[in-house]
Amino acid sequence: MDKNFYITTPIYYPSAKPHMGHAYSSIIADFFARFKKIDGFNVYFLTGTDEHGLKIQRAAEKKGVKPLQFCDEISETFRNLSKTLNLTNTDFIRTTEKRHKISVQNLWNVLEKNDDIYLSKYSGWYSVSDEAFYSDEEVEEVDGIKIANASKSTVEWMDEESYFFRLSKWEEKLLHYYEQNPDFISPKSRRNEVISFVKSGLKDLSISRKSFSWGIKVPNNNEHIIYVWLDALTNYLSALNYPNTNDDLFKNFWPASLHLIGKDILRFHAVYWPAFLLAAKIPLPKKVYGHGWILSGEEKMSKSKGNILDPIEIIDQYGLDPLRYYLIKEVSFGNDGNISRDRLEDCINSDLANNFGNLCQRVIAFTFKNCDGKIPNNIKFNKDDLKILDKFTKNLEIIRNKIDNQDVNFYIDFIVNSLFEANKYFNDQEPWKKKDDNKRLNTIVYTSLEIIRKISFMLYPIIPVSSLNALKIFDINENQIEFSSITNHLYLKSNEKINKIDILFQKIEKKNND
Ligand code: MSP
């Protein structure tokens, strides 16, 4: 079995500072990366910034600075955000780096050599905000302004000499690939959207621009720069040192296991990208997953709509782990999700402070009072203990499988239910009434500690800092977390001392919102 796992986030436009939608893509990718890591995989996790194109050039002009200087500054805020979000990314790529330029120009040369590129003229609609071409049918007029149906962004007419990629030539091959690889585009609903788009007929794609200069030059024709999406998509290869296909990174990690993206950029990843790769005879990524949007009210949160919830502000106020937990739990993965401070506060209070935090504190306090602060010995599991412990064993393979199908909701529901059952178990078993049955008392405490350990392991991909704080009870460190060990019911060593820990989550005093 392939034990290498390559996951990517979209590379972000550094046109403005990061918002919650960007944080969401990155946090979810980090969740998968961390899970795979504790499940024994070698993980390569890539994120970065997408710095070329007219959108960035105009944003820089507006500020009166050179595009590179503009990008340096904002790209740094994205790099900092990766740290603030506690991402385990292995690399952070910028499309203005030399390694990337080499890779893009090389891919261009291969496409040209394979007769997939020709020079002609483009006349049609272009949205600078989406950096996308639109057909007449995809454009409508609202209040005298032409906008793209899908994104509602303004389009402008473009009329210029351009190189084209023979996208139409790959229509059948793409449809065949989707059919042979039913999971390539996920979730299913998005797959259908893409298939009908391709079936409606693919036109050749304009892949160069002449009327501005901020980008990677077309090899052998300095007047043209390469279309920003062809440039940007190639980041997934350049980070692995393409065109050096003998490089270990490339050999180990290509094809990518998962391109995690937002649904708005599915066409680029599920149509154009595989077509470029087919044309260049490079293996196709295993999966493209298009997640939903973070909404504010009923609308997509975005800079242009001015309805941004700033992730940094939220983190300063509530802490990182609560935000990670909230986004992973409350936004049903694959669908759009509305977020609010109110719901975030409920989540902190009920799930994190009450359900998880309290369980840890209760069991620790009881262990100190009744078992000398040590992991009990002299234990014998009965059927109640085994029932709650065996749930982890029974679900090990199921959880792996769900993760491979990006069923984040299953994973988090499993944890929430386990926490609920663990609290119930401790209440129902009433260890405080077993003071004259030492073996039973010990067994209940051992079982409860074992469950805290298992749940903390499972929480690691979601709330890494808090999970590690909880694992301080047992002096377990990050490198010791192994997902497969949730099936071991005797992981904890009897007679070892446990540690008291600080309160994991402070409850939020809720303001009366009425
Ligand atoms: N630069 C391109 C991606 C190139 S990948 C080769 C781009 N950048 S972006 O900054 O506009 O968006 C990056 C990601 O953030 C996209 O996946 C997009 O879907 C996601 N989000 C932006 N706003 C969002 C929400 N409000 N909610 C969730 N994700 C959204 O597109």
> Percentage of the chain surpassing pLDDT 70?
97
Please work out whether the CB of residue 13 comes within 6 Å of at least one atom of ligand 1. Answer: yes
Q: What digits encode the pLDDT tens for the residues 473-507? A: 999 999 999 999 999 999 999 999 999 999 999 99
Please work out whether the CB of residue 261 comes within 6 Å of at least one atom of ligand 1. Answer: yes
Ligand 1 atom closest to Cα of 232? 6
Q: How far apart are CA 276 and CA 226, in angstroms?
A: 13
Phi first, then psi, for residue 296 (nearest 5°) are: -125, 110
Q: How far apart are CA 215 and CA 224, in angstroms?
A: 9
Ligand 1 atom closest to Cα of 300? 26
| Residue 241 confidence class, pLDDT cut points 50, 70, 90 | very high
Instruction: Specify the amino acid at residue 366.
Output: F
Q: Quick one: pLDDT at residue 514?
A: 42
Distance 466 CA to ligand 1 centre (A): 28
Pocket-testing residue among 24, 216, 327, ligand 1, by greatest number of atoms within 8 A of Cβ: 24
Q: Quick one: pLDDT at residue 512?
A: 59
Better pLDDT: 2 or 66: 66
Asked if residue 21 lies in contact with residue 301, where contact means CB atoms within 8 angstroms, the answer is: yes
| Residue 2 confidence class, pLDDT cut points 50, 70, 90 | confident
Q: What digits encode the pLDDT tens for the residues 420-460? A: 999 999 999 999 999 999 999 999 999 999 999 999 999 99
Tokens of 258: 């998962």
The residue whose C-alpha atom lies closest to atom 6 belonging to ligand 1 is 233
Asked if residue 33 lies in contact with residue 86, where contact means CB atoms within 8 angstroms, the answer is: no
Q: Packing angle between helix 320-330 and helix 20-38, nearest 10 degrees? A: 90
Please work out whether the CB of residue 262 comes within 6 Å of at least one atom of ligand 1. Answer: yes
- Bridge partners, residue 165, by sequence: 117, 205
> Percentage of the chain surpassing pLDDT 90?
90
Give yes or no for residue 150 having a pLDDT over 90: no
| Residue 309 confidence class, pLDDT cut points 50, 70, 90 | confident
Strands (E), 321-407: 337-338
Phi first, then psi, for residue 335 (nearest 5°) are: -105, 170
The residue whose C-alpha atom lies closest to atom 17 belonging to ligand 1 is 262
Q: Quick one: pLDDT at residue 120?
A: 97
Q: Quick one: pLDDT at residue 305?
A: 66
Strands (E), 241-351: 258-262, 288-291, 294-296, 299-300, 337-338
Q: How far apart are CA 462 and CA 412, in angstroms?
A: 9
Q: How far apart are CA 323 and CA 78, in angstroms?
A: 17
Please work out whether the CB of residue 293 comes within 6 Å of at least one atom of ligand 1. Answer: yes
Please work out whether the CB of residue 11 comes within 6 Å of at least one atom of ligand 1. Answer: yes
Q: What digits encode the pLDDT tens for the residues 5-42? A: 999 999 999 988 888 999 999 999 999 999 999 999 99
Give yes or no for residue 302 having a pLDDT over 70: no
Question: Which residues, in sequence order, are CB contacts of 410 under 8 Å at separation 6+?
Answer: 399, 402
Span 293-319, mean pLDDT? 80
Q: Quick one: pLDDT at residue 182?
A: 96
Please work out whether the CB of residue 52 comes within 6 Å of at least one atom of ligand 1. Answer: no
* CA-to-CA separations, 264 to 65, 138, 198, 351, 353, in angstroms, rounded: 29, 14, 16, 31, 35
Torsion of the alpha carbons at 223, 225, 226 and 227, rounded to the nearest 10: -120
| Residue 285 confidence class, pLDDT cut points 50, 70, 90 | very high
Give yes or no for residue 73 having a pLDDT over 70: yes
Q: How far apart are CA 103 and CA 302, in angstroms?
A: 31
Ligand 1 atom closest to Cα of 294? 27
The mean-pLDDT minimum among 108-117, 247-256, 304-313, 497-506 falls in 304-313
Tokens of 427: 């209440």
Q: Quick one: pLDDT at residue 48?
A: 98
Q: Quick one: pLDDT at residue 340?
A: 86
Asked if residue 369 lies in contact with residue 498, where contact means CB atoms within 8 angstroms, the answer is: no
Tokens of 26: 């990155």
The mean-pLDDT minimum among 61-65, 85-89, 332-336 falls in 332-336
